[in-house]
């Protein structure tokens, strides 16, 4: 009889130790660079994906199917706009977790088109591919925490690339249209992160000097916490990207981009230039930022 309480105590202690050993990993540790890279590979295998192309339509189907498998509902936002090549039709993809109807609090964005070239075969593994693959993987990881996922809106912009040169009317077609449609809903967003060209094997994310101060501070703090600070710095000048129209309407959005990428807008922007490790670094830093700072 004397041994029974002791055995019960031992079992209780073992149960506590066992429970502690199976404590879930922090959300950001679930982000897989390999899974993100597999999405990029699929997109690259479709070939060049400029606005209006069949390959880009196939990209849309792929993105929507992947998000659906993780529990996200995607809405197609189709619109037309004048371009240097005439009127073009573009399609943004906007996704919410489950059947969320109310406004979200934070934007996570990428463009999924590639630049139009007549003389080279441009598959955009890094420029268009890497950020899209990362955002698809982000959707999978966020779904692990439905409460957090419910606060996020994913946006895949069409028509980021200019047909000639970036001007007020050429380039950023998707983000300009998205911003113009938000109206009063813009006030519901605390901020956002735009991902672009973040797969470079020699990763060095270059924040624009005019990045929202709080977001930049939090990204650097997240990178510090994960011992990845060496991969994050400031760029030498301003950067025009899909975050620009969003900042102009009052939503603080930071652009995570490695702008020092020699194969940029060349036929050499291929899958061998990017790595799962780089995708994983950016994905985990962004998730740490969301969990510990932006949506805490």
- Encode pLDDT of 162-192 as tens digits: 999 999 999 999 999 999 999 999 999 999 9
**Residue 67 pLDDT greater than 50, yes or no:** yes
Q: What is the arithmetic mean of pLDDT over 52-66? A: 98
Which structure tokens are listed for 196?
Answer: 């672009």
Closest CA to 218 of 135, 161, 290, 120: 290
pLDDT score recorded for residue 21: 54
The residue ranking higher by pLDDT, 23 or 207, is 207
pLDDT score recorded for residue 4: 42
**Residue 138 pLDDT greater than 60, yes or no:** yes
pLDDT score recorded for residue 16: 40
Cα separation, 291 vs 288, in Å, equals 5
**Residue 2 pLDDT greater than 80, yes or no:** no
**Residue 39 pLDDT greater than 60, yes or no:** yes
% of the chain residues with pLDDT over 70: 93
Which structure tokens are listed for 189?
Answer: 């967003």
Q: What is the pTM of this model?
A: 0.92
Q: What is the arithmetic mean of pLDDT over 34-45? A: 98
pLDDT score recorded for residue 223: 98
**Residue 227 pLDDT greater than 70, yes or no:** yes
Q: What is the arithmetic mean of pLDDT over 75-99? A: 97
Which structure tokens are listed for 170?
Answer: 């050429």
* Cβ(244)–Cβ(174) below 8 Å: no
**Residue 3 pLDDT greater than 70, yes or no:** no
**Residue 240 pLDDT greater than 70, yes or no:** yes
CB atoms under 10 Å from CB of 215, counted, come to 23
- Write the CB contacts of 81 (distance below 8 Å, at least 6 apart in sequence): 87, 88, 90, 159, 173, 177
pLDDT score recorded for residue 14: 43
Residue 83, φ and ψ in degrees, nearest 5: -135, 170
pLDDT score recorded for residue 22: 64
- Write the CB contacts of 282 (distance below 8 Å, at least 6 apart in sequence): 134, 195, 198, 203, 205, 256
Closest CA to 130 of 28, 207, 265, 39: 39
Which structure tokens are listed for 193?
Answer: 């992160």
Domains of the chain, start order: 24-294 (3.40.630.10)
């Amino acid at each position: 009889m004397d041994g029974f309480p002791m055995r019960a105590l031992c079992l209780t202690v073992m149960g506590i130790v066992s429970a502690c050993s199976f404590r879930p990993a922090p959300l950001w540790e679930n982000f897989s660079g390999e899974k993100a890279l597999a999405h990029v590979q699929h997109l690259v295998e479709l070939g060049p994906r400029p606005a209006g192309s069949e390959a880009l339509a196939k990209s849309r189907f792929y993105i929507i199917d992947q998000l659906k498998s993780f529990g996200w509902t995607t809405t197609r936002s189709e619109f037309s706009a004048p371009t240097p090549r005439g009127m073009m039709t573009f399609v943004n993809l906007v996704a919410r977790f489950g059947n969320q109807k109310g406004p979200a609090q934070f934007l996570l964005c990428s463009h999924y088109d590639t630049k139009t070239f007549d003389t080279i075969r441009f598959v955009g593994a890094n420029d268009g591919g890497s950020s899209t693959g990362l955002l698809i993987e982000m959707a999978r990881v966020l779904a692990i925490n439905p409460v957090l996922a419910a606060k996020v809106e994913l946006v895949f912009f069409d028509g980021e690339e200019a047909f000639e040169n970036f001007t007020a009317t050429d380039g950023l077609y998707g983000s300009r249209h998205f911003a113009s449609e938000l109206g009063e809903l813009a006030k519901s967003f605390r901020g956002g992160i735009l991902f672009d060209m973040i797969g470079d094997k020699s990763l060095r994310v270059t924040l624009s000097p005019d990045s929202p101060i709080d977001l930049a501070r939090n990204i650097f703090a997240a990178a510090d916490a994960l011992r990845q600070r060496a991969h994050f710095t400031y760029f030498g000048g301003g950067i025009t990207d899909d975050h620009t129209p969003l900042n102009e309407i009052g939503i603080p959005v930071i652009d995570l981009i490695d702008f020092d990428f020699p194969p940029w807008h060349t036929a050499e922007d291929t899958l061998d230039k990017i790595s799962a490790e780089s995708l994983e670094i950016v994905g985990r830093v962004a998730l740490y930022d969301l969990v510990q700072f932006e949506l805490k």
